[in-house]
Amino acid sequence: MKNRKNLKAELREILTTTVVLRRGSRRQRLALLSAIVLTQADRALQGDACATKVIVEIARNCGVFDGNSREYALDLTKLSDDELLSLEKITAKAQTIIRDEDDEE
The string of pLDDT tens digits covering residues 28-65 is 899 999 999 999 999 999 999 999 999 999 888 888 88
Whole-angstrom distance, CA of residue 6 vs CA of residue 2: 7
Residue 88 CB contacts under 8 Å (≥ 6 apart), including other chains: 9, 12
The pLDDT of residue 2 is above 80? no
Residue 24 pLDDT class (50, 70, 90 cuts): confident
- Choose between 68 and 24: higher pLDDT: 24
Residue 101 pLDDT class (50, 70, 90 cuts): very low
Whole-angstrom distance, CA of residue 18 vs CA of residue 25: 19
Question: What's the mean pLDDT when you consider all of the chain?
Answer: 79
- At residue 71, the pLDDT reads 58
Global pTM reads 0.56
SS3 (DSSP) at 60: helix
Contact 32, 17 (CB under 8 A): yes
User: CA dist 43 to 39, 84, 86, Å?
Assistant: 6, 32, 37
